[in-house]
């Protein structure tokens, strides 16, 4: 009996020791990730990686919300109401310090996106093909877009001094890199190099949610515009206008409101209709938008979607309202006024007595979904860049021609602009402001042209404003303190 | 009864006289409590004449007249020899071996005689654990163990408890101790994914616990190797004892309320709120007429809602436990069932627990025994979002909602008006609690099967297979009308989480005397252990529900998340411990563990963790003999290395992860930076201790000094973010904890009827950062930027300089010299304030008075020297956010030039950062709290016998009934989480219960 048990025990023990000592016992592989070297081995792998890079653009602090919000809140189109959820206060007040959360998040996320793009661009495993060229081209355009946003957010305007520090240019992954800031000029050069290569690489149109040949070219027109390189801006813009196949929509096809705002957000039945009510990005058509960032019904930022910051009803924060100066620009016959309707003076607490101008460019907000897109490059913008390029060549005829190409599509009864001289530029700026309101463009127009303006912090109580003029420290974001602490080669912007 | 007894006695006498040649002996064998011991062996010494006792403990034995001595023995009892003499009737009381004078302490992978222990460990006996009506055993440890800091910061029943043993043990990794439940290294803490807070230990019925042993120094913890750095807490459940089956019934009921809010933190009433609103509006430059019009939108003061009263309640508490234990020398058992229900003082928050335990042990042969333990438990927790700024956190709404808002409509229904003059972006907490679901159903089984074989008398082999099965079904539903689900027309989240862990141990225990006279003894333990934990997760989310009546996702139109994933880790180790013991005076012990973990790259998967310790029982020296009042004196010293491997699974691998989907197509990204050089954090701890016992145990003193150097501290080392990563997890930096622990347990007075027991412990810990990552002088850590020489939790912020009496503007000191002030927040530097979130001193003080059948016990917990930050100050002060509720402290605001106050002029929508983080919102965290008080009455033996039961007691007890707060300006309870930052947590429950315990 005893010896039997003894023997049994020895067998059991030996078994346990033998099985458990197995070397592979300590080797665990993750279930939801692969080791990096195994990540992109085929064309389809590369497409998956490319989707990941696009998804990053949707980040709340990139095109998902902060970038477009900044361009209006820091300009003269919008302000943060008094009763708010605490978001975008620093932007609204022109009051940053070096730990500003929005600056830090834009910085960090943009470089994350560049890293994602680089894993595609620098991939040498997948054999070249039409698709691979397209995917790499799209990744190049993404890298260019992010470098461009970085350099204009964290550096002074190119038009002021392109030799000033821009941002580090990152084209390869190196976890130990401690790069210094390249000059603004060098960053723009890199952006243009990437966009030129993207343009020549790409041959496919995969829908407006993806970069295409002409979306890259259009982005380049904007880059040249920011550089005030008007000859190149004109060439690029005309290339898009003439060759891309994109077209503007006209009148009610663009905006066609139904329902009413009601006396309070809860009573709202309003829907802007038309192009702006479309829930999905276009897949084969080529209307209006060359490139937009998609939020689908499943994968989106939820309450942190940009629409929620404007939406008054439902779970929207409704923190940001339009300014009177923007609203008053629209003629009653301009369909675009339907994207910025006036809800009256009793619509939002904390703003009583001041008219409430809403934003309906994130239209699915009206139907309580999160699946709507952030427009990044629109044809109207490119046409207006062409107009501005002609203006700078003192060709007022063509300037007005392109200017009216947009204006008369939106206001069918508008007789058209016909000024000459410096007034043409003012006309273009008004049209840009009206056309691109709430798309994050206005601030950059004011900055690159070195304008001074009165930014309304809040029109209620005592009207509080800030006078913005070139040289205002807040026009340039602070380099995040965390970056300065981690990277001894980094220098801060003046004033922080 | 008595008559029967006399009759038997007479009969016995008669019989004995009849059989003079061979006498018949009769008797009864009981334990020290008077319970019969069945199956005890009764043997005439030197012969094989014998018998065993019956189930009632009695025996009858005929013995030859030559018989002199009876040997009476039973399992778990010390054998006794009784001289027969002329007696024929015996009443034998056996002493339980577990109550041997040689007290035994639980150590890793075994037990040791207390005198032979060389390490710093504290035992909390099961009786102490049972005494407190708290949900989980880790809450109960607060104040009971020197060196153990336990923060009860949420009143959510079943909330995770933060425990720190000997200070903060890590920067990025967990600082929680390792829990070993009946020998199994369990997954502990909050394993849920959707519920705000859960706690594995809340699944364990404190009534099933035999003892909790806290291992503190390296001598004790190094045998747990890479997981021992933060201390080890060994929880042992009750085992059956041979003897008559004993039943125990516990019934307890009571209620939970919350203590009064500190006066500074009481929300303003409607009139005050409106007046201050208008005042601030005018201060901002608005006209009085506009101010009045603007305020009128929010109300005229006729509605004055006390949200605190609406959100809090008197919650019920109930507990029923029943257990049975017993057995014979072959087989013993302990079984129990328990029901525990606690409703928190905040609406919608409760926990129900249905627990059970089966512990069986069977001695198959003299050499082989095996045991099985199983504890299936079901726990249901309803937990509204219970911290932070989540709008559906009812406690947050107490402070954020305006008193001018009505909770109910005129017709008595709940107000759900979302207009901005009403709830706006905030929610009516009553509606949310009534219509949202936020629950976790937790099913768990802990268990262990063990076989023990005595190969030789002094060599034992033990094989143990333990398991921990944790199954979480969480459901979170946001209603369609108001709250987080409104915009999506209702949202439902269903999360399923499963953790299955097994822990396999094979070990040998060997004991030998190395000299003939048994002066020098050696014992050793060596074994092998393998642990595997497999986590499995399924998540589903959908929105757009057709009707508020149906809340399950199948009715919703739009699924938004459908995913499953898994995550595993493995540990494999050899461990050993050996000790030399010379005459019980000098003990030298060493332990060693070689530990391997899947959490590190192949190059670094193994680590070695040695410890050495020594003890000198100085009181056994001859020269100590004159010092009669000292019964025992022991000096201990130890040094050892332990680790901390509580970092994420797979974190060392450079990975490309998925789920970054775009336009309904799969997306993947390079998001795992990995680090193949990653190793465990290594803690080198020195401990010197002194254990003193005076007056035969009436006074016990334990003193420990420790120094704990944590090297290779794992930091998320900041990278240039241009790399696309913010940080890399790497072993850089170091930290030190050193401190004193002092424990006194005494019985200052004891007479026949009256006994007074005192327990007191105090812990002092000093933490300092000793090294930072190369090239870094400061590491940003929120409000606690880390710097060498400074406390890990030292607040780093702007220094408040008060309010400018001339203008009412806020002032801060420009720099650490505090020589000049500024009214510009951004011009003030953040400085090291010298104020830490960690207490300098904390501990417990308890008293028990016993008079006849009555007892009175109270336990205090005290905490001094830390500062607590109001992290939500900016929303609730100074009209920065004028539409939110306000603290009463706003009434002290500056109004007239020359006025001295600490609250600045109220400016509507103020942008001067007056309410932003600064030392203005640091409060002294000092407090003394009456954690538990208990008044009891126990029936004496006579009464119990009359009632045909073994024991009966009634008690009433209260937790958190009294708190002394030293800082009168603090707006909330000073007991917050370990980092002393308020987070709008549920209020701590103030419980009063009455109970009865019956044994039979």
User: What domains lie within chain B, and their CATH numbers?
Assistant: 2-99 (2.60.40.1120)
pLDDT tens for each residue of B690-705: 999 998 889 999 999 9
Nearest CB to B662; choose among A1, A9, A51: A51
Q: Please state, in angstroms and as integers, the Cα–Cα distance from residue A458 to each residue in A252, A350, B853, B908, following that order.
A: 33, 10, 72, 11
Q: Which residue from B minimizes the CA distance to A366?
A: B487
For the segment A49-69, the average pLDDT, to the nearest whole number, is: 97
According to DSSP, the residues that pair with A360 across neighbouring strands are none
B527 with B519: CB under 8 angstroms? Answer: no
State the number of CA atoms in the 13 A half-sphere of B525 facing the CB: 21
Task: Give the orientation angle of helix A422-436 with respect to helix A379-392, to 10 degrees.
Answer: 170
Contact residues on chain B for A52, CB-CB shorter than 8 A: 660, 662, 667-669
CB contact under 8 A, B655 and A33: yes
**Residue B687: band (very low, low, confident or very high) from pLDDT cuts 50, 70, 90:** very high
Contact residues on chain A for B775, CB-CB shorter than 8 A: 488
B648 with B533: CB under 8 angstroms? Answer: no
Q: What is the DSSP letter of B33?
A: T
Q: Which residue from A minimizes the CA distance to B465?
A: A16
For the segment B483-501, the average pLDDT, to the nearest whole number, is: 91
Torsion of CA B449, B455, B460, B466, to 10 degrees: -20
CB contact under 8 A, B298 and A349: yes
According to DSSP, the residues that pair with B828 across neighbouring strands are none
Task: Annotate B59-112 with DSSP letters as a single string.
Answer: EEEEEETT--EEEEE-TTB--EEEE-TT--EEEEEEPBGGG-SS-EEEETTEEE
Q: Which residue from A minimizes the CA distance to B781?
A: A482
Report the candidate in B936, B884, B834, B817 with the shortest Cα–Cα distance to residue B280. Answer: B884
* pTM metric for this prediction: 0.85
pLDDT tens for each residue of B297-352: 888 989 999 999 999 999 999 999 999 999 988 999 999 999 999 999 999 999 99
Q: Which residue from A minimizes the CA distance to B295?
A: A350
Residues 6+ apart with CB under 8 A from A289: A208, A281, A282, A373, A375, A377, A378, A379
Nearest CB to B368; choose among A5, A176, A483: A5
According to DSSP, the residues that pair with B754 across neighbouring strands are B851
Nearest CB to A17; choose among B488, B506, B570: B506
Q: What is the DSSP letter of B206?
A: G
Cα distance between residue A50 and residue A56, in whole Å: 10
Alpha carbon of B965: minimum distance to chain A alpha carbons (Å): 32
Task: Annotate B936-985 with DSSP letters as a single string.
Answer: EEE--HHHHHHTT-SEEEEEEEEEEEEEEES-TT--S-S---TT-B---P
CB contact under 8 A, B666 and A48: yes
Angle at B762 between CA B758 and CA B763, to 5 degrees: 155
Q: Which residue from A minimizes the CA distance to B455?
A: A6
* % of residues, chain A, pLDDT over 70: 92
pLDDT tens for each residue of B209-218: 999 999 999 9
Cα distance between residue B940 and residue B850, in whole Å: 13
* Other residues' Cβ atoms within 10 Å of the Cβ of residue B626: 8
Per DSSP, the three-state class of A102 is helix
Between A99 and B866, the more confident residue is: B866
CB contact under 8 A, A54 and B667: yes
Cα distance between residue A252 and residue A246, in whole Å: 18
Cα distance between residue A326 and residue A432, in whole Å: 11
pLDDT tens for each residue of B325-334: 999 889 999 9
Lowest-pLDDT range of A176-190, A433-447, B553-567: B553-567
Contact residues on chain A for B726, CB-CB shorter than 8 A: 108, 482
Contact residues on chain A for B528, CB-CB shorter than 8 A: 16-17, 20-21
Contact residues on chain A for B455, CB-CB shorter than 8 A: 6
Q: Please determine, for residue B14, whether its predicted confidence score (pLDDT) is greater than 70.
A: no
CB contact under 8 A, A5 and B488: no
CB contact under 8 A, B661 and A53: no
For the segment B28-39, the average pLDDT, to the nearest whole number, is: 78
Q: Please determine, for residue B708, whether its predicted confidence score (pLDDT) is greater than 70.
A: yes
pLDDT tens for each residue of B762-787: 999 999 999 988 878 888 788 898 89
Q: Please determine, for residue A16, whether its predicted confidence score (pLDDT) is greater than 90.
A: no
For the segment B238-250, the average pLDDT, to the nearest whole number, is: 91
Contact residues on chain B for A461, CB-CB shorter than 8 A: 281, 284-286, 290, 294, 908-909
User: b/e for B41-79, b at 16 or more Cβ within 10 A?
Assistant: bbbbeeeebbbbbeeebbbebebeeebeebbbbbbbbee
Q: Please determine, for residue B48, whether its predicted confidence score (pLDDT) is greater than 70.
A: yes
Q: Please determine, for residue B818, whether its predicted confidence score (pLDDT) is greater than 80.
A: yes
pLDDT at B134: 81
pLDDT at A255: 94
**Residue B98: band (very low, low, confident or very high) from pLDDT cuts 50, 70, 90:** low
Mutate to test the interface with A, among B285, B420, B885 (most CBs of A within 10 A): B420
CB contact under 8 A, A175 and B530: no
Alpha carbon of A101: minimum distance to chain B alpha carbons (Å): 12
Helix and strand element counts for chain A (H, E): 16, 7
Contact residues on chain A for B568, CB-CB shorter than 8 A: 28
B991 with B960: CB under 8 angstroms? Answer: yes
Q: Which residue from A minimizes the CA distance to B598?
A: A26
Q: Please determine, for residue B9, whether its predicted confidence score (pLDDT) is greater than 60.
A: no
pLDDT tens for each residue of B443-484: 999 999 999 999 998 999 999 999 999 999 999 999 999 888
Q: Which residue from B minimizes the CA distance to A27?
A: B598
pLDDT tens for each residue of B49-65: 888 887 778 888 888 87
Nearest CB to A116; choose among B451, B669, B875: B669
Altogether, the residues listed in chain B come to a count of: 1000
Residues 6+ apart with CB under 8 A from B271: B301, B304
Quote the mean pLDDT of chain B: 90
pLDDT at B941: 83
CB contact under 8 A, A2 and B673: no
* Other residues' Cβ atoms within 10 Å of the Cβ of residue A332: 7
Q: Which bin fits A332, alpha (ψ -120 to 50), beta or left (φ > 0)?
A: alpha
**Residue B8: band (very low, low, confident or very high) from pLDDT cuts 50, 70, 90:** very low
pLDDT at A352: 66
Lowest-pLDDT range of A346-355, B120-129, B284-293: A346-355
pLDDT at A314: 62
Backbone angles phi, psi at B140, to 5 degrees: -70, -25
CB contact under 8 A, B911 and A483: no
**Residue A96: band (very low, low, confident or very high) from pLDDT cuts 50, 70, 90:** confident
Q: What is the DSSP letter of B881?
A: S
Q: Please determine, for residue B486, whether its predicted confidence score (pLDDT) is greater than 50.
A: yes
pLDDT at B658: 93
Mutate to test the interface with B, among A3, A4, A55 (most CBs of B within 10 A): A55
Residue A97 exposed, middle or buried by CB count within 10 Å (0-12, 13-18, 19+):
middle
pLDDT tens for each residue of B280-296: 989 988 889 888 988 88
* Ordered structural domains, chain A, with CATH: 41-252+377-486 (1.25.40.390)
**Residue B21: band (very low, low, confident or very high) from pLDDT cuts 50, 70, 90:** low
Q: Which residue from B minimizes the CA distance to A461?
A: B286
Nearest CB to A349; choose among B281, B656, B883: B883
CB contact under 8 A, A175 and B725: yes
Lowest-pLDDT range of A287-291, A313-317, A393-397, B781-785: A313-317
Residue B393 exposed, middle or buried by CB count within 10 Å (0-12, 13-18, 19+):
buried
Alpha carbon of B649: minimum distance to chain A alpha carbons (Å): 8
Contact residues on chain A for B278, CB-CB shorter than 8 A: none
pLDDT tens for each residue of B906-924: 998 787 889 999 999 999 9
Q: Please state, in angstroms and as integers, the Cα–Cα distance from residue B499 to each residue in A269, B192, B577, following that order.
A: 48, 10, 31
Altogether, the residues listed in chain A come to a count of: 496
Cα distance between residue A443 and residue B105, in whole Å: 72
Residues 6+ apart with CB under 8 A from B943: B952
Q: Which residue from A minimizes the CA distance to B489?
A: A368
pLDDT tens for each residue of A249-306: 999 999 999 998 888 777 788 888 899 988 788 999 999 999 999 998 778 888 888 9
Cα distance between residue B942 and residue B83, in whole Å: 30
Contact residues on chain B for A115, CB-CB shorter than 8 A: 670, 723-725
Report the candidate in B886, B974, B969, B873 with the shortest Cα–Cα distance to residue B264. Answer: B969
Lowest-pLDDT range of A254-263, A362-371, A446-455: A362-371
CB contact under 8 A, A462 and B726: no
pLDDT at B11: 44
Q: Please determine, for residue A32, whether its predicted confidence score (pLDDT) is greater than 50.
A: yes
For the segment B152-163, the average pLDDT, to the nearest whole number, is: 88
Cα distance between residue A443 and residue B32, in whole Å: 87
A279 with A270: CB under 8 angstroms? Answer: no
Nearest CB to B528; choose among A17, A29, A457: A17
Q: Please determine, for residue B945, whether its predicted confidence score (pLDDT) is greater than 90.
A: no
Contact residues on chain A for B425, CB-CB shorter than 8 A: 85, 317-318
Cα distance between residue B538 and residue B561, in whole Å: 10
CB contact under 8 A, A349 and B368: no
For the segment B244-263, the average pLDDT, to the nearest whole number, is: 92
Contact residues on chain B for A480, CB-CB shorter than 8 A: 721
B53 with B38: CB under 8 angstroms? Answer: yes
pLDDT at A7: 54
CB contact under 8 A, A480 and B666: no
pLDDT tens for each residue of A217-233: 999 999 999 999 999 99
pLDDT at B386: 73
pLDDT at B977: 87
Terminal CA-to-CA distance of chain B, rounded, Å? 18
* % of residues, chain A, pLDDT over 90: 74
pLDDT at B209: 94
Contact residues on chain B for A84, CB-CB shorter than 8 A: 881
Residue ranges of alpha helices (H) inside A122-201 are 130-154, 184-201
Mutate to test the interface with B, among A461, A481, A490 (most CBs of B within 10 A): A461
* % of residues, chain B, pLDDT over 90: 66
**Residue A42: band (very low, low, confident or very high) from pLDDT cuts 50, 70, 90:** very high
Q: Please determine, for residue B976, whether its predicted confidence score (pLDDT) is greater than 70.
A: yes
Per DSSP, the three-state class of B182 is coil
Cα distance between residue B374 and residue B359, in whole Å: 7
Contact residues on chain A for B720, CB-CB shorter than 8 A: 168, 177-179, 483, 486-487, 490
Between A325 and A366, the more confident residue is: A325
CB contact under 8 A, B662 and A52: yes
pLDDT at A297: 78
Per DSSP, the three-state class of B513 is strand
B504 with B535: CB under 8 angstroms? Answer: no
User: b/e for B584-607, b at 16 or more Cβ within 10 A?
Assistant: ebebebbbbbbbbbbbbeeebbbb
Contacts across the A-B interface (CB distance below 8 Å): 289
């Amino acid at each position: 009996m005893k010896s039997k048990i003894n023997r049994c025990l020895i067998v059991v023990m030996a078994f346990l020791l033998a099985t458990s000592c197995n070397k592979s016992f300590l080797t665990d592989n993750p279930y939801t990730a692969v080791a990096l070297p195994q990540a992109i081995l085929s064309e389809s792998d590369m497409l998956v990686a490319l989707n990941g890079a696009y998804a990053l653009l949707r980040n709340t602090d990139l095109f998902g919300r902060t970038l477009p919000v900044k361009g209006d809140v820091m300009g003269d189109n919008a302000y943060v109401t008094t009763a708010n959820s605490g978001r975008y206060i620093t932007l609204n007040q022109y009051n940053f310090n070096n730990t500003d959360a929005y600056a830090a998040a834009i910085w960090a996320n943009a470089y994350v996106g560049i890293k994602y793009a680089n894993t595609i661009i620098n991939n040498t495993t997948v054999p070249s093909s039409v698709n691979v060229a397209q995917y790499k081209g799209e990744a190049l355009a993404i890298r260019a877009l992010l470098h461009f946003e970085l350099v204009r957010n964290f550096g002074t305007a190119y038009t002021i001094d392109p030799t000033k520090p821009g941002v580090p240019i990152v084209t390869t992954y190196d976890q130990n890199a401690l790069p210094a800031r390249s000059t603004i000029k060098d960053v723009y050069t890199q952006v243009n190099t990437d966009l030129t290569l993207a343009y020549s690489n790409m041959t496919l149109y995969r829908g407006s949610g993806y970069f295409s040949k002409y979306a890259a070219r259009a982005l380049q027109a904007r880059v040249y515009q920011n550089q005030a390189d008007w000859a190149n801006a004109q060439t690029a813009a005309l290339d898009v206008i003439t060759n891309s196949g994109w077209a503007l929509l006209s009148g009610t096809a663009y905006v066609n409101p139904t329902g009413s705002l009601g006396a309070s957000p809860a009573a709202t039945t309003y829907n802007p209709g038309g192009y702006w009510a479309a829930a999905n990005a276009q897949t084969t058509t080529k209307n209006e938008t060359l490139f937009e960032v998609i939020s689908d019904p499943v994968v989106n930022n939820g309450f942190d979607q940009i629409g929620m910051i404007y939406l008054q009803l439902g779970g929207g924060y409704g923190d940001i309202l339009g300014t009177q100066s923007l609203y008053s620009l629209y003629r009653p016959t301009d369909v675009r006024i339907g994207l910025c309707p006036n809800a009256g003076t009793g619509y939002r607490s904390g703003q009583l007595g001041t008219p409430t101008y809403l934003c309906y460019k994130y239209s699915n907000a009206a139907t309580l979904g999160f699946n709507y897109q952030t427009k990044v490059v629109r044809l109207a913008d490119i046409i207006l860049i062409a107009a501005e390029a002609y203006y700078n060549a003192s060709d007022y005829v063509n300037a007005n021609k392109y200017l009216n190409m947009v204006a008369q599509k939106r206001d069918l009864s508008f007789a058209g602009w016909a000024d000459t001289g410096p007034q043409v530029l003012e006309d273009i700026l008004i049209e840009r402001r009206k056309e691109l309101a709430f798309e994050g463009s206005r601030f950059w127009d004011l900055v690159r042209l070195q304008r001074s303006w009165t930014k309304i912090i809040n029109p209620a109580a005592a009207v509080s404003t800030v006078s913005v003029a070139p040289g205002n420290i807040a026009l340039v974001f602070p380099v995040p303190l965390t970056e300065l602490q981690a990277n001894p080669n980094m220098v801060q912007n003046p004033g922080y | 009864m008595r008559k029967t007894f006399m009759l038997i006695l007479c009969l016995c006498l008669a019989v004995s006289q009849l059989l003079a040649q061979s006498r018949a002996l009769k008797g009864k064998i009981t334990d020290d409590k008077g319970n019969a011991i069945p199956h005890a062996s009764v043997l005439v010494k030197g012969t094989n004449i014998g018998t065993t006792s019956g189930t009632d403990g009695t025996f009858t034995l005929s013995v030859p007249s030559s018989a002199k001595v009876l040997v009476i023995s039973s399992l778990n009892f010390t054998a006794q020899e009784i001289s027969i003499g002329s007696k024929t009737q015996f009443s034998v009381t056996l002493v339980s071996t577990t109550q041997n004078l040689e007290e035994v302490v639980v150590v890793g992978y075994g037990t040791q005689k207390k005198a032979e222990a060389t390490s710093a460990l504290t035992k909390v006996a099961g009786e102490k654990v049972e005494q407190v009506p708290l949900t989980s055993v880790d809450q109960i440890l607060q104040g009971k163990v020197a060196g153990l800091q336990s923060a009860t910061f949420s009143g959510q029943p079943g909330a995770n408890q933060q425990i720190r043993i000997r200070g903060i043990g890590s920067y990025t990794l967990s600082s929680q101790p390792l829990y070993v439940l009946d020998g199994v290294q369990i997954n502990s803490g909050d394993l849920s994914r959707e519920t705000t807070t859960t706690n594995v230990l809340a699944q364990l019925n404190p009534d099933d616990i035999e003892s909790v042993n806290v291992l503190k120094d390296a001598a004790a913890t190094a045998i747990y190797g890479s997981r021992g750095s933060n201390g080890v807490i060994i929880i042992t459940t009750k085992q059956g004892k041979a003897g008559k089956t004993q039943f125990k019934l516990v019934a307890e009921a009571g209620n939970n309320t919350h203590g009064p809010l500190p006066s500074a933190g009481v929300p303003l009433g409607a009139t005050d709120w409106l007046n201050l609103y208008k005042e601030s509006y005018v201060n901002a430059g608005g006209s009085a007429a506009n101010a009045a019009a603007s305020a009128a939108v929010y109300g005229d003061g006729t509605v004055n809602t006390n949200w605190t009263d609406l959100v809090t309640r008197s919650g019920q508490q109930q507990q029923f436990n029943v257990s049975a234990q017993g057995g014979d020398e072959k087989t013993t058992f302990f079984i129990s069932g328990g029901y525990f229900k606690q409703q928190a003082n905040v609406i919608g928050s409760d926990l129900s627990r249905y627990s059970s335990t089966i512990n069986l042990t069977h001695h198959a042969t003299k050499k082989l025994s095996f045991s099985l333990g199983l504890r299936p438990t079901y726990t249901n927790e309803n937990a509204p979002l219970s911290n932070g700024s989540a709008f559906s956190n009812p406690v947050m709404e107490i402070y954020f909602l305006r008193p001018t808002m009505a909770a109910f409509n005129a017709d008595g229904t709940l107000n759900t008006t979302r207009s901005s003059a009403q709830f706006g972006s905030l929610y009516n907490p009553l509606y949310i609690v009534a219509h949202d679901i936020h629950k976790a159903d937790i099913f768990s089984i802990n268990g262990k099967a063990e076989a023990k074989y005595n190969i030789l008398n002094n060599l034992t082999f033990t094989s143990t297979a333990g398991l921990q099965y944790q199954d979480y079904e969480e459901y979170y539903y946001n209603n369609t009308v108001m709250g987080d689900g409104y915009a999506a027309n209702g949202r439902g989240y269903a999360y399923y989480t499963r953790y299955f862990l097994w822990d396999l141990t094979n070990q040998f225990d060997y004991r030998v005397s190395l000299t003939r006279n048994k002066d020098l003894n050696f014992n050793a333990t060596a074994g092998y252990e393998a642990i595997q934990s497999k986590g499995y997760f399924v998540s589903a989310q959908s929105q757009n529900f057709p009707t508020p009546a149906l809340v399950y996702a199948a009715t919703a139109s739009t699924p938004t998340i459908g995913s499953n994933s898994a995550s595993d880790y493995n540990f494999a180790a050899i461990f050993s411990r050996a000790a030399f013991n010379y005459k019980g005076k000098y003990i030298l012990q060493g332990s060693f563990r070689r530990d391997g973990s899947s959490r590190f790259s192949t190059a670094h998967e193994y680590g070695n963790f040695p410890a050495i310790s020594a003890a000198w029982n100085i009181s056994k020296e001859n020269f100590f003999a004159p010092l009669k009042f000292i019964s025992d004196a022991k000096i201990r010293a130890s040094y050892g290395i332990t680790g901390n491997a509580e970092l994420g699974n797979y974190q060392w691998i450079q990975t490309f992860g998925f789920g970054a989907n775009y336009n309904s197509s799969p997306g993947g990204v390079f998001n795992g930076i990995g680090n193949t050089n990653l190793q465990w954090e290594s803690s080198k701890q020195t401990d010197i201790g002194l254990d003193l016992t005076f007056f035969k145990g009436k006074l016990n003193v334990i003193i420990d000094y420790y120094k704990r150097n944590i090297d290779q501290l794992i930091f998320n080392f900041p990278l240039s973010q241009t790399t696309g990563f913010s940080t890399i997890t790497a072993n850089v930096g170091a930290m030190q904890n050193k401190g004193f622990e002092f424990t006194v347990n005494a019985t200052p007075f004891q007479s026949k009827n009256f006994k007074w027991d005192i327990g007191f412990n105090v812990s002092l810990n000093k933490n300092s950062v000793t090294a930072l990552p190369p090239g870094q002088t400061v590491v940003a850590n929120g409000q606690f930027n880390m710097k060498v020489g400074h406390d890990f939790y030292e607040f780093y912020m702007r220094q408040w300089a008060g309010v400018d009496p001339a203008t009412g503007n806020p002032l801060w000191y420009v720099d650490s010299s505090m020589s000049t002030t500024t009214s510009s927040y951004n011009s003030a530097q953040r400085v090291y304030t010298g104020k830490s979130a960690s207490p300098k001193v904390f501990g417990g003080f308890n008293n028990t008075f016993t008079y006849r059948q009555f007892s009175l016990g109270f336990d205090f917990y005290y905490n001094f020297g830390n500062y607590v930050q109001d992290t939500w100050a900016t929303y609730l002060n100074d009209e920065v956010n004028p539409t939110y509720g306000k603290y009463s402290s706003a009434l002290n605001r500056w109004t007239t030039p020359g006025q001295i106050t600490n609250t600045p002029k109220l400016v509507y929508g103020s942008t001067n950062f007056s309410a932003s983080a600064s030392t203005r919102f640091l409060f002294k965290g000092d407090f003394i709290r009456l954690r538990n008080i208990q008044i009891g009455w126990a029936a004496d033996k006579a009464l119990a016998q009359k009632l045909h039961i073994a024991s009966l007691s009634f008690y009433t007890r209260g937790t958190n009934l009294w708190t002394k707060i030293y800082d009168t300006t603090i707006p909330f309870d000073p007991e917050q989480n370990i980092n002393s930052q308020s987070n709008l947590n549920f209020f701590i429950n103030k419980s009063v219960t009455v109970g009865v315990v019956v044994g039979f």
